Structure 1
């Protein structure tokens, strides 16, 4: 689920010493939103030619995309504790889904129906937490 950018920041006086000013809430919100949206777009990219839908190679590609998104979230330099917490939650959620996706790919490789079922359940459980996290980020970023 892609997030809309936070409200646009008002223009700054070019004579201000911008380096001495802390990043604005809007700039930090937009940085986190950009990382999340980029991760979503990477997951939405099409399969490679000849790749089976939901097949092990597609699942591994998805896990790699999730790991990259998690790494980008962890690298954000956020000063607001709320945004730091949201970035940490997103990082943990993306890593959890990536791990479950890799396990699902391995189960698919070996046709292990029990592990396939467990992997699907793990991914679904983790994915159910994503809308609530997105909602909390939206509320925080839209608040004055």
Structure 2
């Protein structure tokens, strides 16, 4: 049964980073108009994530003209998504930010999450440093 599910399951898109509620993202979606295909950008706040295999989705909310909120839900494994770029990481304490629907102006702001880098030198003779991002677990090697 597991082999059957793996054969049907769509591949992960490498252009989609790890997303969290509160992040400000820019979603590039392929739109087909007649014979032509173009890429449309939708920039907004991630208010909901659903992680469940092929049905993984993200809901992004932005404020359009005249203070009207627009929400779009994107399937993360859809071939129509070209890429997703995270512009800001938000610091929130909820998994679903539905309360943002009632907020406008300054009350709709979200604090930015700033990651601290831990720097450690490999040895005294070498000039190679490792930057370890504590929350993400990624290690970046740099020569100085």
Question: Smaller-chain TM-score range?
Answer: under 0.3
TM-score (norm 2): 0.26
Q: Higher relative contact order at CA 8 Å, sep ≥6: structure 1 or structure 2?
A: 1
Could you say which structure has the higher helix fraction?
1
Could you say which structure has the higher strand fraction?
2
Structure with higher Rg: it is 2
